């Protein structure tokens, strides 16, 4: 049973006051231009590839200083201007009410038909989510500071005790389901208490995580085991970042041998273009790619049955990833991608089951860790 502990809300209230000041400042700037007979507009930092910079020294992607104006009287921008103001107002209401909403909830809170028209404020949730990310970068505030959360999309088990919103949780005693990683993993929500783990093994999918959990890999090898359901959510990436930077735990990634697995590793390690403004609190330049690798088809003596043919899109994506500046000057990564392309097929971690049900937990990963056989 979870044990309740007390937490202070003073820092949260200070954070909320700072966020409210930013929102009212944004609204004030719009009003000031209107009263001065100038067109109301909002300046938004651009979240595009062209405005993303590679900081080689720090090993992370960062947002540049490019911006775009969102003008009220521009027919191509008026809707986005309205949507931005609408969501900003909703966030102000949430903070004042000391409540939170999901991304889906924010979509519905702002959804209505504009008076006198048949036009809806949002066509779908993707449109709503994009505006919320625009507000994050415009206000210089994290999603958590805007009182918005996303659905849970990740799991953890292992030799660590945490405190989640005052509840003490022993991740060694989470059964077959594990601890569901929340979308908000900031220190005021998640605190680390007792940790004996020596490293974190992050796997791509729940199916693989379940094999490691059932075999109690985390207990035998004194580690923490996480999964992100494919592309890891911001909550999972933030938790991995904190485990690495605050507890000094190495992060090893067990991902598929395909362009998608390579991209997931890239996002964990360097950050992503769309969230470059958050790289400083998400990216883990020291993360290592443990496998599965293109060489494993021969080294592990796998059968033809595990081969999944590369399609044209896979080949195109692989060549794009090879040109990423953080991979371009790394010979081992160039060899890995060329080997996969030469094979003409991709492989999933689950393919190792053809060797033995527990081959990945009892042989593959232990041997790779012992030999320090990974890519970084």
pLDDT average, residue stretch 133-146 = 89
Percentage with pLDDT > 70 across the chain: 97
User: For residue 123, what are the domain limits?
Assistant: 10-149
Count of Cβ atoms closer than 10 Å to residue 126 Cβ: 9
Residue 261 belongs to a domain = yes
DSSP 139-204: HT--GGGGTEE-----EEEESEEEEETTEEEETTS-TTT-EEPPS---TTTEEEEEE--S-EEEES
- 185 and 79 together in one domain: no
Domain limit, last residue, from 125, 149, 173: 149
Q: Is the pLDDT of residue 356 over 90?
A: yes
Residue 352 belongs to a domain = yes
- 172 and 143 together in one domain: no
pLDDT value for 7 = 42
pLDDT in tens, 126-139: 999 999 999 999 99
Q: Which of 149-153, 233-237, 308-312, 364-368 has the lowest mean pLDDT?
A: 149-153
Q: What CA–CA distance (Å, rounded) separates 121 from 335?
A: 49
pLDDT value for 143 = 84
- 136 and 184 together in one domain: no
User: What's the CATH code of the domain at 307?
Assistant: 3.40.1360.10
pLDDT value for 145 = 87
What is the rounded average pLDDT for all residues in the chain?
93
- 337 and 218 together in one domain: yes
- 277 and 353 together in one domain: yes
Q: Is the pLDDT of residue 325 over 60?
A: yes
Identify which of 195, 100, 193, 91 has the alpha carbon closest to the alpha carbon of residue 150: 100
pLDDT average, residue stretch 170-199 = 94
For the chain, the straight-line distance linking the first and the last C-alpha, in angstroms and rounded, comes to 40
Domain limit, last residue, from 100, 123, 149: 149
Domain limit, last residue, from 149, 183, 209: 149
Residue 3 belongs to a domain = no
pLDDT in tens, 269-288: 999 888 888 888 899 999 99
- 361 and 222 together in one domain: yes
Identify which of 209, 210, 163 has the alpha carbon closest to the alpha carbon of residue 182: 163
pLDDT value for 140 = 87
- 139 and 183 together in one domain: no
- 262 and 329 together in one domain: yes
pLDDT average, residue stretch 214-220 = 97
| Band of pLDDT at residue 9, cut at 50, 70 and 90 | low
- 106 and 162 together in one domain: no
| Band of pLDDT at residue 320, cut at 50, 70 and 90 | very high
Return the structure tokens found at 227.
């999964």
Residue 376 belongs to a domain = no
If one counts the domains in the chain, the total is: 2
Q: Is the pLDDT of residue 321 over 90?
A: yes
Return the structure tokens found at 60.
């992370």
pLDDT average, residue stretch 173-198 = 93
pLDDT value for 39 = 94
Residue 2 belongs to a domain = no
How many CA atoms does the CB half-sphere of 246 hold within 13 Å?
17
Q: What CA–CA distance (Å, rounded) separates 127 from 107?
A: 9
pLDDT value for 19 = 93
Positions annotated as catalytic residues are: 108
CB 81 within 8 A of CB 40: yes
- 159 and 145 together in one domain: no
């Amino acid at each position: 049973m979870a044990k309740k502990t007390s937490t202070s809300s003073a820092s949260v209230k200070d954070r909320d006051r700072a966020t409210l000041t930013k929102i009212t400042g944004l609204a004030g700037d719009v009003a000031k231009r209107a009263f001065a007979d100038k067109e109301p507009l909002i300046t938004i930092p651009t979240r595009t590839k062209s405005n993303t910079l590679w900081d080689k020294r720090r090993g992370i992607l960062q947002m540049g200083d490019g911006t775009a104006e969102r003008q009220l009287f521009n027919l191509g921008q008026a809707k986005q201007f309205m949507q931005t103001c609408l969501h900003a107002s909703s966030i102000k209401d949430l903070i004042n009410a000391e409540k939170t909403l999901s991304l889906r909830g924010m979509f519905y809170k702002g959804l209505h038909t504009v008076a006198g028209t048949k036009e809806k404020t949002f066509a779908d949730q993707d449109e709503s989510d994009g505006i919320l990310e625009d507000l994050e970068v415009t206000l210089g505030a994290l999603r958590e500071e805007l009182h918005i959360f996303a659905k849970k999309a990740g799991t953890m088990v292992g030799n660590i005790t945490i405190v989640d919103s005052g509840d003490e949780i022993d991740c060694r005693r989470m059964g077959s389901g594990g601890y569901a990683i929340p979308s908000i993993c900031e220190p005021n929500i998640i605190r680390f208490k007792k940790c004996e783990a020596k490293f974190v093994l992050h796997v791509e999918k729940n199916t693989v995580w379940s094999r490691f959990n059932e075999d109690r890999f985390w207990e035998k090898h004194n580690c923490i085991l996480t999964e992100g359901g494919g592309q890891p959510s911001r909550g999972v990436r933030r938790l991995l970042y904190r485990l690495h930077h605050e507890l000094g735990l190495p992060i090893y990634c067990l991902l598929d041998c395909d362009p998608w697995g390579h991209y997931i590793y890239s996002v964990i390690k360097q950050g992503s273009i769309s969230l470059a403004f958050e790289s400083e609190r998400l990216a883990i330049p020291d993360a290592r790619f443990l496998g599965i690798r293109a060489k494993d088809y021969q080294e592990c003596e796998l059968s033809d049955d595990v081969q999944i043919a590369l399609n044209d899109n896979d080949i195109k994506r692989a060549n794009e990833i090879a040109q990423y500046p953080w991979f371009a000057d790394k010979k081992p990564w160039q060899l890995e991608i060329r080997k996969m392309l030469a094979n003409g097929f991709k492989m999933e971690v689950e393919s190792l089951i053809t060797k033995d049900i527990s081959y990945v937990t009892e042989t593959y990963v232990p041997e790779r860790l012992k030999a320090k056989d990974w890519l970084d």
